[in-house]
Amino acid sequence: MRVNEIFCSLQGEGFNTGMPAVFVRLSGCNLQCPFCDTDFTAFTEMSEGDIIEEVSRHKANMVVITGGEPALQLTESLVEMLHFLGKTVAVETNGTVGLPKNIDWITLSPKDIYLGEMAKPLLKEADELKIVFTDDMREDATPYISKYTDIKVRYRFLQPCDTGDVEKNNKITKATLDYCMEHPEWRLSLQIHKMLNIK
């Protein structure tokens, strides 16, 4: 597998915010989002055994498989091996590629709002849905967000987009908060790892 990095930190966003986790970032993505803040092009070739060996060095009980788009490489056998270690396996996906059936927690973050039909998610069920709330949505986010009502999820999160501009970020965060207050089926997700200046 092409692995960008493996590290231990706190889950910084979504339902599991604050939970210690081992992050396995797989290299490569089938989409190119304009706001992506991850360099997932570099990689080291690792076998599933190599990944398990590295993950086992860390105490965290949760393993988050991320990317890029992890579904391009993730296998049922790797998930099974992580389960054998006693780990709970979560994945963060754009939903355009099928996933192994034995994953414990799925975070779906669709990108067709920004990239059009070619990025429309195939996934119709997940544990949590995470929408990145961008500057374009400040006036009226409903047309962007309402398209996901047919996806079966337990939790729905709106996450303010980090533009790198403090003033813009403050406006986007306020608009996200306002939308959640008006539409209480949505929860606010903040990237606490950035606030804490951790990986």
What is the set of active-site residues? Answer: 23, 29, 33, 36-38, 92, 193
Q: DSSP class of residue 190?
A: -
User: Hey, what are 147's tokens?
Assistant: 């398209």
State the DSSP code for 111.
-
Tokens (6 digits) for 45:
């070739």
CA distance 90 to 100: 11
Q: What is the DSSP string of 38-87?
A: ---S--EE--HHHHHHHHTTS--SEEEEESS-GGGT--HHHHHHHHHTT-
**Sheet of 2-10, strand order:** 44-45, 2-10, 20-26, 62-66, 88-93, 105-108, 125-133, 152-160, 187-188
Q: How many CB atoms lie within 10 A of CB 103?
A: 22
